[in-house]
Amino acid sequence: MTIELTRRKLLRLAGTASLAVAAAAARAEGTPTAGAGTIAATAPGFAGSTPIRCGAIGLRVRDLDRMSRYYQSVLGFAVISASADGVTLGAGGVPLVFMEARPQAQIEPRNAAGLFHTAFLMPSRRDLARWLVHVARNQTPLTGFADHSVSEAVYLDDPEGNGIEVYADRDPRLWRWEGERVVMGTHRLDVDGILSLTDTSRNDYSSAPAGLRIGHMHLRVGDIQQSESFYRDAIGLDSTSRRDTASFLSSGRYHHHVALNTWNSAGAGSRDLAATGLDWFSLEVADPRLLTAQRERMARAGFAPTEVARGFESTDPWGTRLRLVGV
Rounded Cα–Cα distance for residues 46 and 175 (Å): 13
Q: How high is the pLDDT of residue 14?
A: 77
Pick from 258, 203, 215, 265: which is nearest to 233 by CA? 258
Question: Are 277 and 162 a contacting pair, CB within 8 Å?
Answer: yes
Q: How high is the pLDDT of residue 28?
A: 60
Tens place of pLDDT per residue across the chain (327 aa): 567 777 788 878 878 767 776 776 676 675 544 333 333 333 348 999 999 999 999 999 999 999 999 999 999 999 999 999 999 999 999 999 999 999 999 999 999 999 999 999 999 999 999 999 999 999 999 999 999 999 999 999 999 999 999 999 999 999 999 999 999 999 999 999 999 999 999 999 999 999 999 999 999 999 999 999 999 999 999 999 999 999 999 999 999 999 999 999 999 999 999 999 999 999 999 999 999 999 999 999 999 999 999 999 999 999 999 999 999
| pTM as predicted | 0.93
Q: How high is the pLDDT of residue 27?
A: 62
Rounded Cα–Cα distance for residues 184 and 167 (Å): 14
Q: How high is the pLDDT of residue 243?
A: 92
* 93: alpha, beta or left? (left if phi > 0; alpha if psi -120 to 50): left
Question: Are 209 and 121 a contacting pair, CB within 8 Å?
Answer: no
Pairing between β-strand 52-61 and β-strand 277-285 as defined by DSSP bridges: antiparallel
Backbone angles phi, psi at 151, to 5 degrees: -160, 170
Q: How high is the pLDDT of residue 21?
A: 67
Which residues face 90 on adjacent strands?
78, 95
Q: How high is the pLDDT of residue 22?
A: 73
